Amino acid sequence: MAHHGKGKPPRVGDNPLFRRSLLAIVLLLVGLMIVAPLAVIAVEAFSRGIAYFGASIADPDTRHAILLTVITALIAVPINTAFGVAAAWAITKHDFPGKRLLTVIIELPFSVSPIVAGVSYLFVFGLQGLFGPALEAAGIKILFALPGIVLASMFVTAPFVARELIPLMQAQGRDLEEAATSLGASGWRTFFSVTLPNIKWALLYGVVLCNSRVMGEFGAVSVVSGNIRGQTNTLPLHIELLYHDYNAAGSFAAASILAGLAIVTLVAKVALERQGAGRVQRPTALAGADSITPEVKP
């Protein structure tokens, strides 16, 4: 009879047949759900040749969709980054009434369907909405224009940066910031010399995820944009429009851009995880705090 190390019961998965079967199931699912769709995108994008692929990307409507997507990301990502850092700082470094409620609200976009979020913006900024008549009278257009697309994208991606920073900053505690403050450092100096070096990898990771989601968002943007060809269609909306026009090759050509973005995001994710893995955060922060010491006046 086989013994398993000092009479200990066998662990789940010790059986070689079980391990191989489990690995085979995982590889099969990965191939069917991830690898196969990406392979189809690549094949279909070039199904009519490189010249047609280039012509599809150079199409004015496609170029406008790409430009609108990039502009949306350039606006939404920095704002959500600042929001995430501020929210994480407030929640982890300060005590105030309603802190737990604020944490729940920040996580809310993960629980709400993007389409529901888009419809809610209709009832806030639409002509029949809360602020719609006043905005119309002032000549300010939110919906079916860039501001509405940015707002919807910001709502969907609001938690990404904060969610990466809050657990890390909670684990780090407040001792280092309090030590820096006691040495005479200002709030901004404490943040840039102590806090930021400690959270930089998590911050960059959150920014990468936020940017990827902004560029790929479909549900909320489809509601508030109006799907106007060549005007308010972001790249995901334009891909759907091309597919409904029976331009499958053009649709897959545009989709290959988002697929490429997904691969770049994956590579950046792995690189950031390697950069941040195994790093001792506390000594880094202590070095930042020590760098403040020479400026303290007697």
89-137 per-position pLDDT tens digit: 889 888 889 888 998 999 899 888 899 989 999 999 988 888 888 988 8
Mean pLDDT of 172-182: 80
Mean pLDDT of 153-166: 93
- pLDDT tens for 23-58 read 999 999 999 988 898 888 889 888 888 998 999 999
Residue with tokens 């008549």: 133
Out of 224-233, 234-243, 261-270, least confident range: 261-270
Q: What is the pLDDT of residue 18?
A: 81
Q: What is the pLDDT of residue 10?
A: 63
Fold for 49-295, please state it: MetI-like fold (1.10.3720)
Q: What is the pLDDT of residue 99?
A: 87
Q: What is the pLDDT of residue 187?
A: 74
- pLDDT tens for 96-109 read 898 889 989 998 99
- Confidence category of residue 9, pLDDT binned at 50, 70, 90: low
Taking the domains of the chain in order of start, what are their residue ranges?
10-45, 49-295
Q: What is the pLDDT of residue 13?
A: 62
Percent of the chain with pLDDT over 90: 37
- Confidence category of residue 284, pLDDT binned at 50, 70, 90: very low
User: How far are the Cα atoms of 80, 83, 90, 158, 295 from residue 163, in angstroms, in the given order?
Assistant: 12, 11, 13, 9, 34
Residue-by-residue DSSP string for the chain:
----TTTPPPPTT-SHHHHHHHHHHHHHHHIIIIIHHHHHHHHHHTTT-HHHHHHHHHSHHHHHHHHHHHHHHHHHHHHHHHHHHHHHHHHHH---TTHHHHHHHHHHHHHS-HHHHHHHHHHHHSTTSSSHHHHHHHT---TTSHHHHHHHHHHHHTHHHHHHHHHHHHHH-SHHHHHHHHTT--HHHHIIIIIHHHHHHHHHHHHHHHHHHHHH--HHHHHHH---TTTT--HHHHHHHHHHTT-HHHHHHHHHHHHHHHHHHHHHHHHHHHHHTT--HHHHHHHHHHTTGGG---
pLDDT value at 293 more than 50: no
Q: What is the pLDDT of residue 285?
A: 41
